[in-house]
Amino acid sequence: MRTETKNISTEGRHVSPNFITEIIDGDLQQGRSPKVVTRFPPEPNGYLHIGHAKSIALNFGLALDYRGECNLRFDDTNPETESLEYVEAIKRDVQWLGFQWTRECYASDYFERLFECAVQLIREGAAYVDSLSEEEIGTYRGTITEPGRPSPYRDRSVTENLDLFARMRKGEFPSGAHVLRAKIDLRSPNMKLRDPVLYRIVHAPHYRTGNAWCIYPLYDFAHPLSDAIESISHSICTLEFENNRAIYDWLLENLRGKCGLPASPRLNLDYTILSKRKLIKLVDDGHVKGWDDPRMPTIAGLRRRGVTPEAIREFANRIGVAKANSRVDIATFESAIRDNLNYRAPRVLAVLRPMKVVLTNFAEQTVEELQAPYWPHDVPNEGSRAVPFSRELYIERDDFLEHPPKGFYRLIPGGRVRLRHAYVIRCDDIVKDAAGNLVELRCTYDPASRGRPGERNDPLGLGAPRSEGGDAPLRPALQRGRPGSGCRRRERLPEPGVPHRRGGVRRAQRAARPAGAPLSVRTAGILLARSGGREPAAISIQPHCEPARLLGQTRGTRKRLGQCRSAEPSRRPASGEAANPVNGAVEPLDDAIPAEQRGQFKQSRTRRFARERHAGRVNDLPALDA
């Protein structure tokens, strides 16, 4: 039956649209699934890590987006590695991330039904009891290039297999004596399909069932059948189990409509997350102090580190869902954490390696309180705190160097910097101990340099040196250049109040300069000039106009550089004449230029003007102050 279901809005979704949501949308529209039912199926043999957070956000998020259900099911089929501690830790982490399951399920609750499914496979001749050891089974299975060989016990009769399997359940055999294997294909290129093991004997108490069972299903047998028992509509697994998916499909195909299982299969979807095996080794070998060690990428460790659940959910949403194995840069996770903490974590200062600073011109026994904001300027939160300022202060030791390298803009001998939220100080002297170690800095502070709370007068956060006798703080020189060109030029940022544009300080100063003021700009080695002995003509330069336009460039260059135009010549220059680009006058060239050198100059207006300047007929305009 086809049902009309509208796709949910992309706004406010817990899971960003991806290939899985497209499949679910199609299933709902075609009526294949009346309701979306997912599950998060961890094995309780360790703590959850950041990779599990992606699976949690995906399965629970899909259920929330489609108003469906999500079960928390523990695939507890290995009594030797599982414990109640891990179960409680997993439940705690899922709830801390902000999700709540519909039903709490355990694969151990289905042990009886799983046993019935195994018996059904034996009766149909699709499974047999094998008495080979684990090493022998691996040998008979073959390799990637060689097909497997049948076990000597593969052709046991159904009656014998049923009898042995029943005795296995009663505990008549020791651990490892027999296993139940599926009879699939020993020549399959997928090694997982070469008669996989379904049941094994393990004489160990289970944390939930105790000693009621001594045979336990393997994960590949219990996992897909548990999905079927719980009527999971969309089974989302990791690419770690991509090859195992063939076993799942074979089991469901052979048991469909039998042993109480549904006749219609559920949808299988694959994506990728992390593995837990290496983390277990770190804990077991004692390299970390437990699963909640802050160095561990477990959810418990991240919680102790201060990471918020909102940041983890945002990270899972950013990386999305992939059909192929992929790596995610740790910077993506750190970015999600910073973005979340930016609006909820107030900022304070701390000194890790203190260096004592004594302000010699600050009154003793005096403490001044300065207001320091809790939030940066781009966060619309309010609040500040009082920071004491006294004669003796402490700064970070790395913020001072006695012999600084080029480009060091922190405190140096004789240098001036602004303390954050406070005054500008100058280092006058340094004090060392007998061993030559630096122990104290003697400084003076500028009482008139106190910045207002939150004032952005320091681009580096440390304060910039101030010009001698001036109030405006100097900006440090920046290295600027075209990426990859190897060309770098030093350029000072403009003073406060002067608009800073990409062209640098000179362009900003030219924009504010009165029209007609003396002007000189070097472009392509040519100086804008006026005729010798004459007063300079008034030239109107627009703010972003390159004076090279006045010298005449190519058509494309003129289009890029702006709106300025050079003066039109009064007439077409004849041979031996040149048009002055300033006033347009056509003037004869000086005969002082040797004839043999005249052929070196092209007959463009720029070259003509260069020849005219070379001949001494024009003078340079006064240069701008730097």
User: Which tens digits make up the pLDDT trace of 67-88?
Assistant: 999 999 999 999 999 999 999 9
Domain layout of the chain by residue ranges: 1-102+275-345, 354-449, 478-505, 522-620
The stretch 356-385 carries a mean pLDDT of 91
Band (7; pLDDT cuts 50, 70, 90): very low
Question: Quick one: what percent of the chain has pLDDT higher than 70?
Answer: 66
Give the number of other CB atoms < 10 A from CB of residue 507: 19
Written in H, E and C, the secondary structure of 560-625 is HHCCCCCCCCCCCCCCCEEECCCCCCEEECCCCCCHHHHCCCCCCHHHHHHHHHHCCCEEECCCCC
DSSP string, 56-77: HHHHHHHHHHTT-EEEEEE---
Rounded to two decimals, what is the model's pTM? 0.58
Question: So what's the pLDDT on residue 567?
Answer: 52
Residue 47: closest CA among 294, 300, 293, 278 = 300
Give the number of other CB atoms < 10 A from CB of residue 256: 14
Q: CA-CA distance, 250 to 246, in Å (whole number)?
A: 6
165 near 119, Cβ under 8 Å?
Answer: yes
Residue 214: closest CA among 161, 244, 170 = 170
Residue 214 has pLDDT above 90, yes or no: yes
Higher pLDDT, 47 or 479: 47
Residue 393 has pLDDT above 80, yes or no: yes
Q: CA-CA distance, 291 to 439, in Å (whole number)?
A: 42
Higher pLDDT, 187 or 530: 187
Q: Specify the length of the chain in residues.
A: 626
Higher pLDDT, 243 or 362: 362
Q: Mean pLDDT of all residues in the chain?
A: 76
Residue 269 has pLDDT above 60, yes or no: no
Question: So what's the pLDDT on residue 261?
Answer: 72
Question: pLDDT tens-digit profile of 499-555?
Answer: 444 444 455 555 555 554 444 333 323 333 333 334 333 333 333 333 433 344 444
The stretch 430-434 carries a mean pLDDT of 93
Question: So what's the pLDDT on residue 553?
Answer: 41
Highest-scoring range by mean pLDDT, 25-29, 355-359, 577-581 = 355-359
Question: So what's the pLDDT on residue 37?
Answer: 93
In CATH terms, 354-449 corresponds, of 1.20.200.10, 2.30.42.10, 2.40.240.10, 3.40.50.720, to 2.40.240.10
The stretch 327-344 carries a mean pLDDT of 85
Higher pLDDT, 28 or 508: 28
Between 236-245, 538-547, 614-623, the lowest mean confidence (pLDDT) is in: 538-547
Question: pLDDT tens-digit profile of 554-597?
Answer: 444 444 444 444 455 666 666 666 666 555 666 665 544 455 54
Between 54-68, 333-347, 445-459, the lowest mean confidence (pLDDT) is in: 445-459
Q: How far is CA 570 from the centre of its chain?
A: 64
Looking up tokens 């700009």, which residue turns up?
Answer: 521
* Pairing between β-strand 104-106 and β-strand 69-74 as defined by DSSP bridges: parallel
For residue 443, which phi and psi values (nearest 5 degrees)? -130, 165
Residue 129 has pLDDT above 90, yes or no: yes
Question: pLDDT tens-digit profile of 412-422?
Answer: 999 999 998 89
Question: So what's the pLDDT on residue 617?
Answer: 47
Question: So what's the pLDDT on residue 432?
Answer: 93
Q: CA-CA distance, 456 to 463, in Å (whole number)?
A: 10
Tokens representing 322 are 């992939």
Question: So what's the pLDDT on residue 445?
Answer: 94
Question: So what's the pLDDT on residue 17?
Answer: 82
The stretch 204-232 carries a mean pLDDT of 93
Residue type, 261: L
CA distances 284 to 32, 207, 287, 416, 601, Å, are 46, 20, 8, 54, 82
Highest-scoring range by mean pLDDT, 34-38, 93-97, 469-473 = 93-97
Q: CA-CA distance, 432 to 364, in Å (whole number)?
A: 22
CATH superfamily name and code, 1-102+275-345: HUPs (3.40.50.620)
Looking up tokens 């809005």, which residue turns up?
Answer: 9
Residue type, 249: D
Band (185; pLDDT cuts 50, 70, 90): very high
Residue 205 has pLDDT above 90, yes or no: yes
Q: CA-CA distance, 514 to 543, in Å (whole number)?
A: 12
> What b/e string do you get for 308-341 counting C-beta neighbours within 10 Å, with b at 16 or more?
bbbbbbbbbbebbbeeeeeebeeeebeebbeebe
Question: So what's the pLDDT on residue 89?
Answer: 95
Is the CA virtual torsion 111, 116, 122, 124 positive or negative? negative
Question: So what's the pLDDT on residue 620?
Answer: 40
Q: Give the three-class secondary structure for 417.
A: strand
Question: pLDDT tens-digit profile of 400-413?
Answer: 999 999 989 899 99
Question: So what's the pLDDT on residue 554?
Answer: 43
Band (316; pLDDT cuts 50, 70, 90): confident
Question: So what's the pLDDT on residue 526?
Answer: 31
Which parts of 72-211 fold into alpha helices (H)? 84-96, 111-123, 134-140, 158-170
CA distances 504 to 458, 478, 510, 588, 622, Å, are 19, 11, 10, 38, 20
